[in-house]
Amino acid sequence: MRFMNEPTTGDQPELFRRKNDPTSAPEIDLGRASIARVYDMFFEEGKDGFAVDRVVYEQVRQIAPDGPLVAVMIRRWLDRAIGYLVSRAGINQIIDIGSGLPRSAPHENTHQIAQRSNPEAMVVYVDNDPSVAAFGRALLEDNVYTHFVQQDLVHPQVVLQDPAVQQHIDFDRPITLVQSATLHHVDDDQDPVRIMRQYVEVLPPGSYVVLCHWWDPDDELPEGHELARSLENAWRTSSMGTGRYRSRGEIEAMFCGLPLLSPGLVELDQWWPPGPEVTPPTLIERLMLGGVARVP
């Protein structure tokens, strides 16, 4: 995927123009960095994105040059979690909240991970970014088991009542709800725990919550605490304006009391690692916790 550095309305990448209405282009605010596009740049090491996104990317890279390793680490963790829930737990429907821009090989997307084990696994992606809407709908238009909803994750009832969610997700059967690297972009005044509770309340028994979040380790890892504070300041003072590194307790509260699968809420590469470490994690890779919880 490639974005134009300085696009105009009439000169945008092909997938931006391909939607249900191919004559219209999504409304994209070029004065503010997009969470989805900046995150995408960490996979391509700055090759993609608009100029406003590149500014944020470079600010973060100045503080943490190893930032791209985090994006890849999140994808490894998601692959293991989704792969387990589909192949071992038998879950065949997934709602991926705040899904972001589709990945290209070798970094598989949620529907590719799920449908590798079960070709009929149903995946509904949700994101509020028009960039994601343009790419998502175009790339998924030929996959009858994968759908995209353009809604904002901070409004759970709107998301859950969206016609596409209601049509393709059966709330009488277990569901996997994914919040991968999303809730740290929800500010405290929006109350991410309250938001998660509204999602969890509708999940039927036997469902799972897959969640990871930026971590401020405080006294557990003092040098990590300092880096977390610096990174949070960079994110929040950028044109993107969001980003919170939270404590272990604050992150665990987002599971709303659901029991966590072993090994619990841990650094991402410690969650069912595929093998022994080849190299020790960098400091920024340690500043994220993730876990999977089950609805009894």
Q: What is the pLDDT of residues 79-111, one digit of tens each?
A: 999 999 999 999 999 999 999 988 777 789 999
- What digits encode the pLDDT tens for the residues 197-207? 999 999 999 99
Whether residue 55 has pLDDT greater than 80: yes
Instruction: Give the type of residue at 180.
Output: S
Kindly state the average pLDDT of the residues 109-135: 93
Please tell me the predicted confidence (pLDDT) of residue 45.
64
Nearest Cα neighbor of 94 from 102, 106, 85 is 85
Domain total for the chain? 1
Domain range holding 180? 68-236+244-294
Q: Give the residue with greater pLDDT, 184 vs 48.
A: 184
Q: In this structure, is residue 13 part of a structural domain?
A: no
Handedness of CA 42, 191, 288, 140 (dihedral sign): negative
Average pLDDT rounded to a whole number, residues 26-42: 84
- pLDDT-above-70 percentage for the chain: 89
Confidence of residue 274 (pLDDT cuts 50, 70, 90): confident
pLDDT at 2: 30
Assess if residue 118 is contained within a domain: yes
Order the strands of the 93-97 sheet from edge to edge: 146-150, 122-127, 93-97, 176-180, 208-214, 288-294, 266-267
Q: Domain for residue 189, yes or no?
A: yes
User: Does an H or E element contain 234, and which?
Assistant: helix 222-237
The helix (H) or strand (E) run that includes residue 72 is: helix 67-87
CATH number at residue 184: 3.40.50.150
Is residue 196 in some structural domain? yes
Could you tell me the pLDDT band of residue 138, with boundaries at 50, 70 and 90?
Answer: confident
Q: Does residue 155 lie within any of the structural domains?
A: yes
Residue 290 in domain: yes
What is the band of 27 on the pLDDT scale with cuts at 50, 70, 90? low
Find the mean pLDDT for residues 61-85: 96
pLDDT at 153 over 90: yes
Residue 43, in any domain of the structure: no
Confidence tier at 175 by pLDDT (50, 70, 90): very high
**Residue 49, pLDDT score:** 78
Q: Residue 16: what pLDDT?
A: 33
In a domain, 32, yes or no: no
Closest by CA to 28, choosing from 47, 15, 45, is: 15
